[in-house]
Amino acid sequence: MTNRLHNGPPDPIDEALAPFGDTITEAEGWLDGTAVETEGQMNAVDALIKDVKAARKAVEAAEESEAKPIYDAWKAAKERYKPTLTDLDRIVKGLVATVDTFKRKLAAEKEAKRKEAERLAWEETRKAQESARQAAANDIEAQRQAAAAMEAAEAAQRAAKAAANDGVKGMRTVTLYDVTDHRALLHWIAKHDRDSVTAFIDEWARKNHKENQNAEGLRVWTEKQAF
Domain ranges of the chain: 12-84, 100-165, 181-221
The pLDDT, as a whole number, for residue 108 is: 92
pLDDT surpasses 60 at 37 = yes
Cα-based distances in Å from 87 to 83, 94, 99, 186: 6, 10, 19, 40
The candidate with the shortest Cα–Cα distance to 168, out of 101, 115, 90, is: 101
Buried b (16+ CB within 10 A) or exposed e, 111-148: eebbeebbebbeebbebbeebeeebeeeeeeeeebbee
User: Read out DSSP for 31-50?
Assistant: -SSPPP-SHHHHHHHHHHHH
* pLDDT of 46 higher than 60: yes
Q: Which of 44-53, 164-173, 199-208 has the lowest mean pLDDT?
A: 164-173
Residue 119 has pLDDT above 60, yes or no: yes
**How far apart (Å, rounded) are the C-alpha atoms in residues 13 and 4?**
9
